[in-house]
Amino acid sequence: MTRTIPPDVVQSAAGRPPRRTGAKPRTSGSALGRSDALAGARSGLSPARLAAAVAAPMTCRQMDGVIRTLRRAAPRWRPTAVAEVAAGRPDPFRVLTACLLSLRTQDGTTREASARLFRIADTPAAILATRASRLARLIFPVGFYRSKARTLRAVSRVILDRFGGRVPDDVDVLTTLPGVGRKTANLVVTIGFGKPGICVDTHVHRISNRLGFVRTRTPEETEWALRAKLARRHWIDYNDLLVAFGQNVCRPLSPHCSVCPVSGPCHRVGVTRAR
């Protein structure tokens, strides 16, 4: 029986929100502007739900301080596997490929599988020239490796046929590729192209709520709440910063609050046990 890749963590049929280039960051998430309300409508969230999501106790100014502190601490933590791929060679197709491999897979496995694959094939044409069975062997033991091998070939075919071999740099267009949801699309846009986007995985969803910056129930809600509240200058590295923080300090169960560099401003929402 053929196994299919589970849907991306953040799947949405909604379009991207209107750009707010040049807008001044708010110091509080208590009020929504017209563009934010429109973003909520386009995401499927009602204006009331979006307003409740951003009306969390931590202000934008406090979050600015949290991010500055985390950036100072980040050199002590190992970057994510996808960030390391981008640092080695900032090629959007390699970033997209690493993102697809990373779904439901630990970072250590993703690093090794990406390295093996890229030694053989790291372009859409090279992927298509490699049989799916060989791709599967190269990327094993990533989760759903056989399905992912077929997905890599399908994505490569679309990129060659529809986009002239170039990875699109738009979130909405990227989500039309096989196996690509909003989480992957946002990560490719931010890490692969250096353009603003907000990639929300389980770490970003959990920590944004635990800090008290948003009040959301799902990663999808978190993405749209962050688009409405988080200063745009933080969008590009927000995912990589919070994922590394979550893997090393702010663990899902029993976080290391005693050594946390942002324990002061953190509201510890939902934390019942800590170290």
CA distances, 144 to each of 43, 133, 150, 192 (Å):
29, 13, 10, 24
Distance (Å, whole) CA 37 – CA 48:
9
CA distance 128 to 154: 8
**Which residue of the set 8, 107, 201, 240 is catalytic?**
201
What local confidence, expressed as pLDDT, does residue 39 receive?
53
> What would the CATH number be for the domain defined by 81-193?
1.10.340.30
Which residues, 6 or more positions from 222, have their beta carbon under 8 angstroms from its beta carbon? 53, 200, 204, 205, 208, 209, 214, 216
Q: What mean pLDDT do residues 129-154 have?
A: 97
91 tagged catalytic: no
Q: What DSSP designation does 192 have? A: I
CA distance 135 to 145: 9
Nearest CA to 174 among 191, 151, 155? 155
Q: What pLDDT score does 88 carry?
A: 86
Domain topology for 38-76+198-259: Endonuclease Iii, domain 2 (1.10.1670)
Q: Which of 148, 183, 229, 240 is catalytic?
A: 183
201 is catalytic: yes
* pLDDT, the chain, mean: 87
pLDDT at 252 over 60: yes
d(CA 184, CA 12): 12
Six-digit token string for 152: 């890599």
Q: Binning pLDDT at 50, 70 and 90, where does residue 14 land?
A: very low
pLDDT of residue 90: 84
Number of Cβ atoms within 10 Å of the Cβ of 268: 14
Q: Where along the chain do the CATH 1.10.1670.10 domains lie? A: 38-76+198-259
Amino acid 89: pLDDT: 85
| Residue 166 CB coordination number (10 Å) | 12
> At residue 146, does pLDDT exceed 90?
yes
Residue with tokens 């690093």: 111
Higher pLDDT, 178 or 8: 178
207 CB-contact burial (10 Å; exposed 0-12 / middle 13-18 / buried 19+):
buried
Per-residue pLDDT tens over the stretch 31-63: 454 445 445 555 668 899 999 999 999 999 999
The C-alpha angle 121, 124, 127, rounded to 5 degrees, equals 40
Neighbours of 256 (CB within 10 A): 13
Contacts (Cβ under 8 Å, ≥6 apart) of 187 = 82, 95, 99, 197, 199, 239
Considering just the CA atoms, what is the radius of gyration of the chain in Å?
Answer: 19
Both tokens of residue 5?
Answer: 């890749």
* 52 closest CA partner among 177, 181, 224: 224
Q: What is the pLDDT of residues 170-205, one digit of tens each?
A: 999 999 999 999 999 999 999 999 999 999 999 999
Indicate where the chain has its CATH 1.10.340.30 domain(s).
Answer: 81-193
Contact call for residues 46 and 25 (beta carbons, < 8 A): no
